[in-house]
Chains A and B, each alone.
Chain A
């Protein structure tokens, strides 16, 4: 079983991101994904956590994930809180970051493997959300799908299209760009 914890802020679409990934894993047809969003008293900008367990066997555990194999960080301002808690040593952190932010993070937390995608820039370029609060979820979905090999591009884009029918093309493009960016970053590491 592979366990991922997602950290975002209210309004960035973290909950929808795990739903899209659960859909895409099922559509890929090899494994299943149990996605568990954590709900508090919702408000824009407040930290949001969600969990995804991926396995080729039935998934029994229905609790929060305390010791994840990987993190997906939608909002880099969250590093000032305790989001790295419990991440397994050597665990991967897929983060929304520009290259210079990424090297700063990697230097600060050498125990973890950081992979960055410029999700904020992608979302702004594609006019997803507003200029002041871009919606980065579909870009981060694309990057997570590629980095953790959750599914191929095709099932991913089908699920993005269904999840956000209003702005389907722009969101699919965001997922595609981030998917490719994560693949490249991964190849560069390897």
Chain B
């Protein structure tokens, strides 16, 4: 049934539909409505799982670590400083190979204070061992939370579902909410092999030597690599069940395009409108929307890219001293044989609007640029 939902509510409803057993939360703008909706559903008896209102985000992730170790399907949502505060525990959950699912609503990191969307919070957790999926609509938020449990529980790695603060979290649009029975058919209950159980005591996360540590990390690497195909597989299964198919990449009008906008999150939706506008001017534009960031879809990207292609990467994030993060990762994935040029554009930091006009300007600049001198990092903004 179609319902008008804000992104935060789409996320919370998905957690309920996934039959989450332990939801833990702490409020932070712009994620708070996800936390509030879960609390409200719990109070009304509509959410049968445990709901824990923790005293900080660090405690949230500690509770998730405990609950997931005991074998529960878990959920939380956070933003910005909250995610940064969880950082230490993010490593613990991933290293413990627990398939937790968390929603991060993108918001810029302080200082100075800023409430609006910016990917620096989620992208700066790139080395924690969490998978990261970026959504472009509220429908995709609901769908991706459901898929994430299936993917995470198959490869035993945690997943972060990322949506744009305000642009998605607080915007209302129709979302097709599946029936519980349909979700149950798609997502079976979580049955972990090893759980924390006082009747059967075992040790978790104990001290290991360098040999075991390296081997465990190598297994994590192998499972991250496997996740690339699991994401595609689960995306196809989801498509068969619900009629909406997803993958690591989402290409729009790219078949005959030489210069391609590369976007993520809600900008990936606006970029389709920019491509349509460029096509109306007779220009062969395309948009490639990156859905996965971890595992980085390097294989899929190399298959997508053709020699001579120009990629205009739009980064709503910035790694000081290095540049836009998507652009760096894409360059690394394509080096050295792809014969495509990668042009990085930093835009929309701290919630600045990335408009159809701005995206067209970026595309045109890259299309007419000297391809042998890719732009390292150009800062652009819509002046309005």
Question: Which residues of A pack against B, CB within 8 Å?
Answer: 18-19, 22-23, 26, 32-39, 41, 59-64, 66
B145-166 toward A: CB 8 Å interface, digit per residue (1/0)?
0000000000000000000101
Given A23-B4, A26-B4, check contact A61 B356 (CB 8 Å).
yes
- For B172, what are the chain A residues with a Cβ–Cβ distance below 8 Å? 18-19, 22-23, 33-36
Nearest B residue to A60 via CB reads B273
Cβ–Cβ contact A22 & B4, under 8 A = yes
In the docked arrangement, what's the CA distance between A54 and B267, Å? 19
Q: A19-B6, A26-B3, A39-B30 are in contact. List 6 more A-B contacts (CB 8 A).
A: A19-B4, A59-B173, A60-B270, A62-B270, A63-B353, A63-B355
Cβ–Cβ contact B270 & A37, under 8 A = no
Cβ–Cβ contact A26 & B353, under 8 A = no
Question: Is residue B384 contacting chain A, with contact meaning CB distance below 8 A?
Answer: yes
Cβ–Cβ contact B270 & A22, under 8 A = no
Question: Is residue B44 contacting chain A, with contact meaning CB distance below 8 A?
Answer: no
B174-207 toward A: CB 8 Å interface, digit per residue (1/0)?
1000000000000000000000000000000000
Residues 256-272 of B at the A interface (beta carbon under 8 Å): 266-267, 269-270, 272
Residues 341-364 of B at the A interface (beta carbon under 8 Å): 353-356
> Which one of A37, A41, A60, A63 lies within 8 Å of B170 (CB-CB)?
A37
Cβ–Cβ contact A60 & B272, under 8 A = yes
Cβ–Cβ contact B171 & A39, under 8 A = no
> Across chains A and B, which 6 residue pairs bring their CB atoms closest together, nearest first?
A60-B273, A35-B172, A22-B172, A36-B171, A23-B4, A62-B266
In the docked arrangement, what's the CA distance between A65 and B379, Å? 23
Q: How far is the CB of A40 from chain B (nearest CB, A)?
A: 8
Q: How far is the CB of B327 from chain A (nearest CB, A)?
A: 22
Q: How far is the CB of B269 from chain A (nearest CB, A)?
A: 5
Nearest A residue to B271 via CB reads A60
Chief secondary structure at chain A's binding surface = mixed
- Some 27 contacts from A to B, beta carbons below 8 A apart, are A18-B172, A19-B4, A19-B6, A19-B172, A22-B172, A23-B172, A32-B173, A32-B174, A33-B4, A34-B171, A34-B173, A35-B4, A35-B172, A35-B173, A36-B170, A37-B170, A38-B166, A39-B30, A39-B166, A59-B173, A60-B272, A61-B356, A62-B266, A63-B270, A64-B353, A66-B355, A66-B384
- For A19, what are the chain B residues with a Cβ–Cβ distance below 8 Å? 4, 6, 172
In the docked arrangement, what's the CA distance between A41 and B112, Å? 14
Question: Which residues of B pack against A, CB within 8 Å?
Answer: 2-4, 6, 30, 115, 164, 166-168, 170-174, 266-267, 269-270, 272-273, 276, 353-356, 384
In the docked arrangement, what's the CA distance between A35 and B164, Å? 15
- For B266, what are the chain A residues with a Cβ–Cβ distance below 8 Å? 62
In the docked arrangement, what's the CA distance between A66 and B276, Å? 19
- For A62, what are the chain B residues with a Cβ–Cβ distance below 8 Å? 164, 167-168, 171, 266-267, 269-270
Chief secondary structure at chain B's binding surface = mixed
Cβ–Cβ contact A63 & B115, under 8 A = no
- For A34, what are the chain B residues with a Cβ–Cβ distance below 8 Å? 171-173
> Which one of A23, A35, A60 lies within 8 Å of B171 (CB-CB)?
A35
Given A26-B174, A39-B170, check contact A60 B4 (CB 8 Å).
no
Nearest B residue to A64 via CB reads B353
- For B30, what are the chain A residues with a Cβ–Cβ distance below 8 Å? 39
Cβ–Cβ contact A26 & B355, under 8 A = no
- For B353, what are the chain A residues with a Cβ–Cβ distance below 8 Å? 63-64
- With most chain A CB atoms within 10 A of its CB, the pick from B164, B171, B272, B355 is B171
In the docked arrangement, what's the CA distance between A61 and B270, Å? 4
- With most chain A CB atoms within 10 A of its CB, the pick from B167, B170, B172, B270 is B172
In the docked arrangement, what's the CA distance between A34 and B355, Å? 16
- For A35, what are the chain B residues with a Cβ–Cβ distance below 8 Å? 4, 171-173
In the docked arrangement, what's the CA distance between A26 and B276, Å? 25
In the docked arrangement, what's the CA distance between A33 and B174, Å? 8
In the docked arrangement, what's the CA distance between A87 and B354, Å? 20
- For A26, what are the chain B residues with a Cβ–Cβ distance below 8 Å? 2-4, 174
- For B276, what are the chain A residues with a Cβ–Cβ distance below 8 Å? 60
Nearest A residue to B353 via CB reads A63
> Which one of B4, B167, B174 lies within 8 Å of A36 (CB-CB)?
B167
Q: How far is the CB of A174 from chain B (nearest CB, A)?
A: 21
- For A59, what are the chain B residues with a Cβ–Cβ distance below 8 Å? 173
In the docked arrangement, what's the CA distance between A23 and B9, Å? 14
In the docked arrangement, what's the CA distance between A60 and B164, Å? 15
In the docked arrangement, what's the CA distance between A33 and B4, Å? 9
Nearest A residue to B115 via CB reads A39
Q: How far is the CB of A63 from chain B (nearest CB, A)?
A: 5
Q: How far is the CB of A142 from chain B (nearest CB, A)?
A: 18
In the docked arrangement, what's the CA distance between A86 and B34, Å? 34
In the docked arrangement, what's the CA distance between A168 and B147, Å? 38
- With most chain B CB atoms within 10 A of its CB, the pick from A22, A32, A61, A62 is A62
Q: How far is the CB of A126 from chain B (nearest CB, A)?
A: 25
